[in-house]
Amino acid sequence: MRNKHVTADTREPSGFAAQAGIGSAMERNIDDNGGAARIRVLIVDDHPMLREGLVSVLELEPDLIVVGQAASGLEAIDSYLNLRPDITLMDIQMPGLSGVDAIAAIREHSPSARVIVLTTYAGDAQALRALKAGAVGYLPKSSIREELLQAVRAVHAGRHYLPPELALDIAIHATEDPLTERETEILRLISAGNSNKQAAWRLSIAEETVKSNLKSVFAKLSAIDRTHAVAIAVKRGIIEL
């Protein structure tokens, strides 16, 4: 049965939405069964196959409809402002503007925006940054179909959604001292293969300063050496390789 459309604004969309052939930003799709409004979803990810897979999963559901797609943080902001979706599924790692920065920009324009992060990176530090930026849900891309649908519906209903294991990780590390900006910067250089001397040269600081910061990093992360510290930081989403 065809869906009925109620259109409040017939102006042509602009930006990425226009390129994708998406309808008016104000268009709402109404399901014939009971006249209930369908949940309008925007998908943001730089991998076309992932976007197509999500479209296939979501549009099998009678209460969901994908109204747009974006491949970068900047396109995400443009598409959100044009389409005003009920839910945005947002990747973190994308070319140009990151997903976290895109979330913050979207929430600045629309404090009521409901964004669920869907990412390969499930670390507690990464998740916490996204939540602080304004995300209200967080899921690894490895999540099963049912969990994704549950998250979309829960967030649309006004709730937050975090996998129990991620919520536990955030709680466990909540009382720990976070790495300082300088400690994170040094650890990022170490992860790229720089020696203490090279890191000191790149940051225009003394080598002893690098050593003292690394000692602090080891203590905060409960790491036994540089390699262990990098592995922990990557797993938790503190740094990226």
Backbone angles phi, psi at 70, to 5 degrees: -145, 150
Backbone angles phi, psi at 136, to 5 degrees: -115, 5
Specify the pLDDT at position 84: 96
Specify the pLDDT at position 25: 35
Residues 157 and 207 in one domain: no
Q: Which residues contact 47 (CB under 8 A, 6 or more apart)?
A: 91
Specify the pLDDT at position 33: 42
Q: Which among 135, 155, 172 is the end of a domain?
A: 172
Residues 161 and 229 in one domain: no
Domain holding 186, by residue range, is 181-236
Q: Which among 116, 147, 172 is the end of a domain?
A: 172
Q: Name residues of the chain where pLDDT drops below 70.
A: 1-35
Specify the pLDDT at position 81: 96
List, in sequence order, every residue forming a beta bridge with 41; answer none if it has no partner: 66, 87
Name which of 208, 155, 215, 130 is nearest 180 in CA terms: 215
Q: Which among 144, 172, 200 is the end of a domain?
A: 172
Specify the pLDDT at position 194: 95
The predicted model scores a pTM of: 0.76
User: Within 10 Å of residue 43's Cβ, how many Cβ atoms?
Assistant: 26
Q: What's 30's domain CATH number?
A: 3.40.50.2300
